[in-house]
């Protein structure tokens, strides 16, 4: 290995992905691997933490991405990396561009202060760092002028004062993610001001559980006649935003982050998870402004709208999307807490959904808890010209008769069935006979056996249980 010509050596390196093992083969490879290493992910194995990190940084002089993750840490693992560790990182990694700190309880604002020397730092992700406050974020914001992405998750001591205003005035951020931070509200985020104009991705979720009570009466609802087109309270511009997600927040009439829905002209991906206070007018305003929309994900549960107890949007929203979003490729709809005895609790109808699918180039369709969708809807889907992926979860009205229609769908190659208790081995046998599917996932469909799914697709996954994440999407309204 030591005597290989440079050209052959370079070609050899291109054809391997395991640089860790490769570095053990020869001194030459060891040095090359050290020079080429651009990222490391460390955590509980660092012992002693600061000295071990310094050694790694010395060995890998060109590191640009570092992830420090102490999830699962116990006292038996030894001391965590502390503020001095960030000092080592800043001084030893001149190319540091991306830093993630997860469950780092020994690091506080003083540690973040050492990042002032990391002039190339473009991305900072803080997850469950309990001792970081707004002061530390302000230090990073002021001194790391290349910062373009900031993620703050489960950081309850972080408030929303100077750092938001400063970053907004500078306008360098392109990506802002705020999840489950008790000190930051949606009204606080309005302090971001002119910073909205350059933002391309924005995520805001809070820890909040909404309790459904169908007998609470209409006083708990929102005004469905509210017209977002008349909104003039805020003059923020967000024309570059492509990815927007809001989760578990309540939006009062004419206030808060509602202004985003009608002003993101470049929006390609929208996710609304249990956002209270919205209605058809918001979706109509959004669809008329977002002609580039490619993906929409809605998680809905019933609320009061005057005399109706139903989910926020109706077929009027689907019609608006069909008319104004010609690039829509992915639709993900989750309905939680909707009683099958009261179909009207879901504002959408099967007719409205089918019309959307027939009007837009839908390639991916995910339905969870869609009790309005039945075999007739499956028949309509069989003529969808571009549908490639269909994911049905807890759709109890789908039977073997509906499943047989998937064989006729011209492009359908990926099918997932979870908690679809009316589907049996008979329906699955039709899939096996057609040999059309690349992928078939069956989870907790009690009338389908593991033996029946064998050979039904090129790749088959069968389970008698459902993942926790899927159950959470269906049976909770907290993010």
Domain chopping of the chain, boundaries: 1-36
Residue 37 confidence (pLDDT): 81
The full 3-state SS of the chain, as one line of letters, equals: CCCCCHHHHHHHHHCCCCHHHHCCCCHHHHHHHHHHCCEEEEECCCCCHHHHHHHHHHHCCCCCEEEEECCCCCHHHCCCCCHHHHHHHHHHCCCCCEEEEECCCCCCHHHHHHHHHCCCCCEEEEECCCCCCHHHHHHHHHHCCCCCEEEEECCCCCCCCHHHHHHHHHCCCCEEEEECCCCCCCCHHHHHHHHHHCCCEEEEECCCCCCCCCCCCHHHCCCCCCCHHHCCCCCCCCCCCCEEEEECCECCCCCHHHHHHHCCCCCCEEEEECCECCCHHHHHHHHHHCCCCCEEEEEECCEEECCEEECCCCHHHHHHHHHHCCCCCEEEEEECCCCCCCHHHCCCCHHHHHHHHHHCCCCEEEEECCCCCCHHHHHHHCCCCCCCEEEEECCCCCCHHHHHHHHHCCCCCEEEEECCCCCEHHHHHHHHHHCCCCEEEEECCCECCHHHHCCCCCEEEEECCCCHHHHHHHHCCCC
Residue 342 confidence (pLDDT): 84
Residue 218 confidence (pLDDT): 42
Residue 136 confidence (pLDDT): 95
Residue 236 confidence (pLDDT): 81
Average pLDDT by consecutive 10-residue portion of the chain (479 residues)? 63 62 60 76 90 92 95 91 95 95 97 95 98 96 96 93 91 96 89 93 82 44 50 74 94 78 93 92 92 97 85 96 97 93 91 96 97 95 95 95 93 96 94 92 95 93 83 58
The pTM (predicted TM-score) of the whole model is: 0.88
């Amino acid at each position: 290995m030591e005597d290989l010509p440079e050209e052959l050596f370079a070609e050899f390196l291109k054809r391997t992905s395991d640089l860790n093992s490769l570095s053990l083969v020869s001194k030459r490879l060891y040095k090359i691997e050290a020079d080429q290493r651009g990222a490391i992910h460390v955590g509980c194995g660092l012992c002693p933490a600061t000295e071990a990190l310094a050694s790694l940084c010395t060995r890998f002089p060109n590191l640009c991405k570092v992830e420090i993750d102490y999830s699962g840490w116990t006292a038996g693992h030894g001391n965590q990396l502390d503020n001095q560790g960030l000092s080592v990182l800043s001084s030893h990694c001149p190319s540091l561009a991306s830093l993630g700190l997860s469950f780092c309880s020994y690091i506080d604002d003083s540690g973040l202060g050492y990042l002032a020397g990391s002039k190339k730092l473009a991305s900072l992700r803080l997850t469950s760092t309990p001792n970081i406050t707004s002061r530390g974020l302000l230090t990073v914001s002021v001194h790391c002028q290349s910062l373009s992405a900031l993620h703050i998750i489960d950081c309850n001591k972080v408030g929303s004062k100077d750092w938001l205003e400063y970053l907004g005035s500078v306008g360098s951020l392109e990506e802002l993610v705020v999840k489950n931070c008790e000190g930051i509200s949606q009204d606080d985020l309005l302090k971001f001001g002119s910073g909205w104009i350059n933002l391309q991705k924005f995520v805001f979720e809070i820890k909040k559980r909404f309790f459904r009570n169908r007998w609470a009466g209409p006083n708990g609802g929102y005004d469905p006649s509210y017209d977002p087109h008349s909104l003039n309270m805020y003059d923020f511009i967000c024309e570059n935003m492509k990815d927007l997600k809001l989760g578990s927040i309540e939006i009062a009439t004419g206030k808060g982050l509602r202004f985003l829905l009608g002003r993101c002209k470049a929006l390609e991906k929208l996710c609304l998870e249990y956002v209270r206070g919205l209605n058809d007018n918001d979706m109509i305003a959004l669809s008329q402004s977002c002609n580039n929309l490619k993906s929409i994900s809605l998680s809905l549960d019933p609320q009061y709208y005057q005399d109706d107890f139903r989910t926020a949007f109706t077929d009027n929203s689907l019609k608006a999307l069909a008319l104004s979003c010609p690039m829509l490729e992915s639709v993900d709809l989750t309905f939680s807490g909707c009683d099958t005895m009261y179909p009207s609790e879901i504002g959408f109808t099967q007719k409205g959904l089918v019309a959307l699918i027939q009007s837009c180039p839908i390639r991916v369709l995910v339905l969870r808890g869609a009790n309005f969708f039945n075999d007739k809807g499956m028949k309509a889907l069989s003529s969808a010209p571009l549908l490639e992926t269909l994911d049905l979860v807890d759709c109890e009205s789908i039977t073997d008769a509906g499943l047989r229609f998937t064989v006729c769908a011209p492009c359908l190659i990926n099918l997932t069935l979870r908690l679809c208790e009316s589907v049996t081995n008979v329906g699955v046998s039709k899939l096996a006979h057609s040999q059309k599917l690349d992928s078939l996932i069956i989870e907790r469909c009690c009338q389908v056996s593991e033996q029946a799914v064998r050979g039904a697709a090129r790749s088959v996954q069968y389970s008698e249980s459902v993942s926790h994440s899927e159950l959470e999407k269906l049976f909770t309204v907290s993010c």
